[in-house]
Structure 1
Amino acid sequence: MRYSSARIRYLSKKILKQATEEGVIEIISTDKLATEAIAETIEKYFALEDEVYEKVIESLNKRSKKLIPGSMEWEIAFNKTYEEEMSKRLLK
């Protein structure tokens, strides 16, 4: 995971504070529950990114034409495959 649980909670509190100050959201429960929901969403998104990354790497390694990691061709193939996979999963 990219960030520790403590860092994610800190970011969640900052997001909640900014969103309520700007009137983007209105809390109808407690700040604690809202912060926990934001933190859970962030953690799920990071987990999804990690899962997609692994699947894309596996997909690129299975291609008949082997690409050299870090090459321009590999980067293009990675980005295209990554975006397609993220789109599929986020639209579910």
Structure 2
Amino acid sequence: ATPTPERSTVRFTGGAATVECRPDGTVFLVSWSPADGFHIDDDVERGPAAVARLEAEPGDDDEQDDLPYEIRCTDDGPRAKVVPDTDDD
């Protein structure tokens, strides 16, 4: 039997995501939801891949920057970290 990928929830500023850590070390975003006052950008890279990406956008765009996250699986479960925004748009 194939081992079932482990599902867990990773929380971050701007929301939370349900993540599968696969046996081959890849990550897959099962679902995600924004926190109050945020929305999640439609352009989600959900995997399965070495790194999944999503972006939390504040509802009031003038006040705060968008928060682009990379989500990886570690030995301690999934971790989300903010990556510097390199877009010059």
TM tier, shorter chain? under 0.3
Q: Report the structure, 1 or 2, having the larger helix content.
A: 1
Structure 1 length-normalised TM:
0.23
Q: Report the structure, 1 or 2, having the larger strand content.
A: 2
